[in-house]
């Protein structure tokens, strides 16, 4: 909740949500903040959701954010991240992740999601 509140205080107006169990808390927080002016969109496919957020940002110059679950869901954000990078369009990609201890042992939805977005990201936390 605090993350989205802070982003909203910095000017975030729109959030595109892609359902997923690990990103559930961000989705719930987005729903609560909708009552306070955050405009919500829902996407089923992460790739199209990221391009929706990119288009919203391109339309008026205000960054939009997309929320996804972990793993391969994040990989689907890469095409929009590359487009945002090349077009100098602000795009926030918010994702859940699996615990570090589950990475590299075959657990589902575990990929090195920080690394494959690095070339197109200005900041990765």
CATH classification at residue 96: 3.40.50.970
Of 82, 106, 110, the C-alpha closest to 96 is: 110
When pLDDT is averaged across residues 69-86 and rounded to a whole number, the result is 94
Q: Which pLDDT belongs to residue 78?
A: 95
Q: Is residue 50 part of a domain?
A: yes
Domain around 100? 2-120
Q: From the CA atom positions of the chain, what is the Rg in Å?
A: 14
The count of other CB atoms within 10 Å of the CB of residue 121 is 15
**Residue 99 forms part of a structural domain:** yes
Q: Strands of 14-17's sheet, edge to edge?
A: 39-42, 14-17, 64-68, 91-95
What span, in angstroms and rounded, lies between the C-alpha atoms of 53 and 92?
Answer: 8
- The secondary structure of 56-85 as a DSSP string is HHHHHS--EEEEE-STHHHHTTHHHHHHHH
Structural domain includes residue 20: yes
The domain total for the chain is: 1
- What are 27-73's pLDDT values in tens digits? 888 888 888 899 999 999 999 999 999 999 999 999 999 999 988 89
The answer to whether position 80 is within a domain reads yes
In the prediction, which pLDDT does 98 show? 77
Residue 125 in domain: no
Angle between helices 46-60 and 78-87 (to 10 degrees): 20
Which of the pair, 48 or 96, is modelled with greater confidence? Answer: 48
């Amino acid at each position: 909740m605090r993350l989205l509140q802070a982003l909203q205080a910095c000017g975030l107006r729109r959030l595109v949500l892609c359902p997923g169990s690990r990103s559930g808390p961000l989705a719930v927080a987005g729903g609560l903040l909708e009552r306070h002016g955050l405009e919500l969109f829902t996407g089923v496919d992460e790739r199209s959701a990221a391009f929706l957020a990119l288009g919203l940002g391109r339309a008026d110059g205000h960054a939009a954010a997309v929320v996804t679950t972990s793993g391969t869901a994040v990989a689907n954000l890469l095409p929009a991240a590359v487009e945002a990078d090349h077009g100098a369009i602000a795009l926030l990609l918010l994702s859940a992740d699996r615990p570090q201890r589950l990475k590299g042992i075959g657990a589902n939805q575990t990929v090195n999601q920080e690394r494959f977005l690095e070339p197109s990201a200005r900041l990765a936390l």
